Structure 1
Amino acid sequence: MIKNIDIVISVLYILFIVTVGLWAGLKKSKVGAKTESGDYFLAGKTLKWPMIGLALFATNISCLHLVSLAQSGFDSGLLNGNFEWMAVFTLILLALFFVPFYLQSNVATLPDFLEKRYNRACRDWLAIISIVSAIVIHIAFSFLAGGIVLKTIFGVNMYVSVFVIAVLTSIYTIIGGLRAVVVTESIQTIVLLAGAIIITVICFQKTGGWHSFTQTLSDTHNLDKLSMIRPVGDASGLSWQSVFLGYPVLGIWYWCADQTIVQRVLGAKDVNHGRAGALFCGVIKFFPVFIFVLPGLMAFVLNKRGVFDISSIQHLDNTGRTVTETKGIYTLMIAQLVPTGLVGVLAAALLSGLMSQISGALNSIATLASYDLYKRFKPATTDAQLVKMGRISAVLALIISIALLPLLNQYESLFSGINDIIAHMAPPITTVFVLGIFWKKASAKSAQYTLWFGSLLGAVVFAINKLMPDVAISKVPFMMMAFYLCCACVFMQVVLSYVFPVKHTAESATLYWKSPLEPLQGKAWRGLGNYKLQSALLIVLMVVLYFIFK
């Protein structure tokens, strides 16, 4: 049971974050923002690279990641760390190819960008899909993970704890806008990383060091759990083929075309700050494998040695077989391995991840609902009305996300559940963005129909997987399914681009690269701040890491 000192630490942390968020949000920008809505939704376009990088990471890493990545480490080893390391490549793509167009076209949202490159129908569809994905993926799943953890640590009913966190996070997010989100996310990233490092160090010490740790894996015939690259046909469904073909489909949507993530870049002071911020996040993405996934694997080793008890998360199923609910592994690690006082710090870290994910998603939903939906039907709306509508939509999003919790709780693995949904939703969006900026002939009508029919195809396949699990298509790993769906969408858009030839406007004619080398010709900072040098170093480091953990 959690001690009073740990409760005090957690409560003080929450009050601190709410206070800082309100202060940052209510403090008006002195430069950059020309309108109230610009200040609220995009922080007056004054964000610099360190804050952008930290905010990108904080919006991505949530309580869900701490819980589910530790669970995956216990179950399958470092394998799911591929989702972290492969993200580095997509962040490089964001920095090199996407950021310049987003900032130079002066858009407030990514649907706004699609309208400039294609047409209004594309904007409308992406706005709706982006709002739905933010509610389900970024908020509801985070609430679910947070509710499970807080119930175990504090003994509070899951829905009560979720409601309290929702109210507290919404106070500074809805009132303060993007500046409040980014400032608090920067703080929360540091706290989250500190908490994760603490439990990693504790687990590492208890295993007796790296040699002793790997020896236990070898003695128990589990040394393959250290491998990031698995053979084709691996039972996990995450073979090297699935990872290297399927992840880019998910990753490009998530890191380059999802409003919740990219909004931090849209508030950048200039292109170089936007690029450097994305690449800085890429640097931070090296660490989750070692401080989120590896502790779960260390818990597995400690359990094999008999010094980590998982009986409290085990039960007998209808056949009398022992089933382990590994969703609770991270909480169990905190309860059994962390001393009093530090439990409060770890709880604060979990709250950091939960609050930062929710705050980022709420601000993005507010921006999308105001700019892309409300303003379309009421083009003469004032800035004050836009901000008001954004706040109302954020409140509605909170209510809907809480209502979805019982449905999403049916997934055995939260991390697999969230990626399963993305795998069926991302392909058409990834397709129209990639072809839009790299292919001159990608037409508006082709993008519009690809978004419509590609989304329908993904929904049908997802329904078949859930309703008819014995059908052959249901046995395809979700990462490979994402790749196949993307291939279908690419074929669809290419064919339709010839059926409905492109008719560029003066603006759309400037929103695609004339050659693959063109993005490397932009102005760059000198020395280590040069985005081309940073990208090259990141790629080299990735290759080395994959060679070590192959």
Structure 2
Amino acid sequence: MFDVSPVFLLVVIGYFAITVAIGLLAGRGNKTSEDHLVAGRSIGPVIGGAALAATQLSAGTFVGTIGVLYLTGASYLWYWPGLWAGWIVSALFVAPKFQKFKGVTVPEYIEKRYNSKFAKMLAAILIVIAYSVYLIAQYVAGGILINTLFGIPMIWGATITIGITLIYTMKGGMKATAYSDFFQAIIMAGCFLVAVPILMQQSGGFSSVGAFLSELDPGLTGWHWSFKDLLGFGLAFGLSMAIAPYELARMYSMKSEKTVRLAIGYSFIFQAVIAVSIGLVGLAIRSVYPVLSNPDSASSIMALDILPPVIGALFMVAILASIMSTVSGIMIVSASAVSHDIYGTIKKDATDKQKMFVNRIAVLVLAIIPLIFAVKPFDMVQFIVLVQASLVASFFFAIVVIGLNWKRATGTAAIISMIGGVVTVLIWFLLDKPFGLNEVIPGVTVSTILLIVFSYFTKPVPKESLQPFFND
């Protein structure tokens, strides 16, 4: 725990107040579940790009990545090209078709494309499970942040973070999330642009940092991670980002296919600033604090002990913003999977009002469950995120990317593909990664093979199911 100045507290409290106000104001126009879940399809490219970037730049980036860079050095930065390759795949082969479909939820695409309600239900269940794991990482990061600030137990820090996010998510839905994400993305990029020069000055500059780290441990400026490790990291993040349900759901909220492509382009600008900045921050902090008991606390300690009070407070706000933007996106996608895809399928005559009620209950329940596991997390924040990314890619990459670009893919094959991918990842993870390969590689490989092979031996989907996705 550090001595926190009144200025620091005022900045943090002011951020929370502005975020909640944005959510409440944005939610005033929501009258239907479609307004709540896809913002009336009114989001433009700049707001949309900032929202895509802010959601992707989660606790895994601001807490987890900086923590891993602090612990292992610069070679970890090579996962970024894999992540960006995933965005390119999304821009070329996924995002425009998703926007054109104009669905409400991601599993709704599964039902229409594969003409299968069971596949829709299975996808919804897997999304809820995978994103519950992801929420654990966000809660742990929020808990570490608040614990570092005020010395209160991590569970209460996580509860405070999630409580504020719940307020604007339940009230404002996707529109509140998009506009608050724009506000949060500006804070993230701006804080890093100011904080990095100050940190570099405090640590003695680039050459001083490099010389110190090379002497401390040559692996910090060399190759701590093997090629197989870096390939696994890049594929896990890239394959999952190409089809991430919480990002695809945001594409439904945008005005047109052109808007989606522009939004992805704008998101690259935000991400490029952040990628360079966190690399410099993670390494510079190690030179200032060579030994920290918890590497995930590196970013918050820097904000409190090195940066001036206002800049440090804004930096902490940026970390909170990254956590809250991701949590709100996950809540909307997971809750809509429960209310719209599971409940709506089971109770076919459910009214829009009933679905909205179930949605809000689902947001609350799905927010609470991961708290139980966040009390005793099983790994560093970034590695929890990595497991979730591998899981999502294993059951979703093949059926989304191949399904949107290959007409022969069938509903039965999609179900087998999802189940096979998840089972493979879990077995590979439990066997402690045979041959040193990240679980995403066998997971996506198996799910892709199963989708292609079984599509040739099962009944094709009707032509009307293909029409929204294929021009001919």
Whether the aligned pair in 1 keeps the contact of 2:86 and 2:237 (CA below 8 Å) is: no
Within a 5 Å distance, the mapping from 1:96-115 to structure 2 comes to 96-115=92-111
Q: CA deviation at 1:288?
A: 2.4
Within a 5 Å distance, the mapping from 1:489-504 to structure 2 comes to 489-504=447-462
Q: CA deviation at 1:309?
A: 6.0
Match for residue 70 of structure 2?
74
Residue 484 in structure 1 maps to residue 442 in structure 2: yes
Match for residue 131 of structure 1?
128
Match for residue 22 of structure 2?
20
Q: CA deviation at 1:503?
A: 3.8
Please give the alpha-carbon distance, in whole angstroms, between the structure 1 residues aligned to 2:235 and 2:303. 34
Give the RMSD, CA atoms, in angstroms: 2.3
Residue 511 in structure 1 maps to residue 469 in structure 2: yes
Match for residue 355 of structure 2?
386
Write the deviation string for residues 482-541 of structure 1: whole angstroms up to 9, x where unpaired: 212322222222221222252433232552588xxxxxxxxxxxxxxxxxxxxxxxxxxx
Whether the aligned pair in 1 keeps the contact of 2:69 and 2:282 (CA below 8 Å) is: yes
Residue 349 in structure 1 maps to residue 288 in structure 2: no
- Select 1:199's aligned residue among 191, 195, 201: 195
2:272 aligned counterpart, secondary structure? coil
Consecutive unaligned residues of structure 1, counting only runs of 5 or more, are 29-34, 303-307, 314-323, 466-472, 515-550
Q: CA deviation at 1:264?
A: 1.3
Match for residue 271 of structure 2?
285
Query: How has the CA–CA distance of structure 1 residues 117 and 9 changed in structure 2, closer, same or farther, with 3 Å as cutoff?
Result: same
Match for residue 417 of structure 1?
384
Whether the aligned pair in 1 keeps the contact of 2:98 and 2:248 (CA below 8 Å) is: no
1:285 aligned counterpart, secondary structure? helix
Please give the alpha-carbon distance, in whole angstroms, between the structure 2 residues aligned to 1:83 and 1:219. 25
Please give the alpha-carbon distance, in whole angstroms, between the structure 1 residues aligned to 2:100 and 2:443. 31
- Percent of aligned pairs with the same amino acid: 20
Match for residue 183 of structure 2?
187
Please give the alpha-carbon distance, in whole angstroms, between the structure 2 residues aligned to 1:47 and 1:444. 32
Whether the aligned pair in 2 keeps the contact of 1:81 and 1:288 (CA below 8 Å) is: no
Residue 337 in structure 1 maps to residue 312 in structure 2: no
Please give the alpha-carbon distance, in whole angstroms, between the structure 1 residues aligned to 2:471 and 2:422. 26
Residue 236 in structure 1 maps to residue 222 in structure 2: no
Residue 435 in structure 1 maps to residue 402 in structure 2: yes
Match for residue 295 of structure 1?
281
Write the deviation string for residues 172-206 of structure 1: whole angstroms up to 9, x where unpaired: 11011111111111101111222333332222112
Please give the alpha-carbon distance, in whole angstroms, between the structure 1 residues aligned to 2:216 and 2:159. 43
Write the deviation string for residues 23-48 of structure 1: whole angstroms up to 9, x where unpaired: 111145xxxxxx61111110000100
Match for residue 239 of structure 2?
252
Match for residue 533 of structure 1?
none
AA aligned opposite 1:23? L
1:268 aligned counterpart, secondary structure? coil
Residue 464 in structure 1 maps to residue 431 in structure 2: yes
2:103 aligned counterpart, secondary structure? coil
Match for residue 370 of structure 1?
339
AA aligned opposite 1:505? K
TM-score by length of 2: 0.92
Please give the alpha-carbon distance, in whole angstroms, between the structure 2 residues aligned to 1:94 and 1:207. 39
Residue 158 in structure 1 maps to residue 154 in structure 2: yes
TM-score by length of 1: 0.80
Please give the alpha-carbon distance, in whole angstroms, between the structure 2 residues aligned to 1:205 and 1:246. 31
- Select 2:393's aligned residue among 426, 431, 452: 426
Whether the aligned pair in 2 keeps the contact of 1:84 and 1:288 (CA below 8 Å) is: no
Deviates more, 1:349-358 or 1:270-279: 349-358
Please give the alpha-carbon distance, in whole angstroms, between the structure 2 residues aligned to 1:246 and 1:69. 12
Write the deviation string for residues 192-246 of structure 1: whole angstroms up to 9, x where unpaired: 2223333322221123333444344455563x6456xx5xxxx624x1x554576
Consecutive unaligned residues of structure 2, counting only runs of 5 or more, are none
Query: How has the CA–CA distance of structure 1 residues 374 and 11 changed in structure 2, closer, same or farther, with 3 Å as cutoff?
Result: same
Query: How has the CA–CA distance of structure 1 residues 170 and 274 changed in structure 2, closer, same or farther, with 3 Å as cutoff?
Result: same
Residue 8 in structure 1 maps to residue 4 in structure 2: no
Matched length: 469
- Report the structure number with the largest CA radius of gyration: 1
Query: How has the CA–CA distance of structure 1 residues 221 and 135 changed in structure 2, closer, same or farther, with 3 Å as cutoff?
Result: closer
Please give the alpha-carbon distance, in whole angstroms, between the structure 2 residues aligned to 1:354 and 1:246. 21
Q: CA deviation at 1:247?
A: 3.0
Please give the alpha-carbon distance, in whole angstroms, between the structure 1 residues aligned to 2:212 and 2:271. 28
Q: Which has the higher helix share?
A: 2
Whether the aligned pair in 1 keeps the contact of 2:407 and 2:466 (CA below 8 Å) is: no
Q: CA deviation at 1:136?
A: 1.8
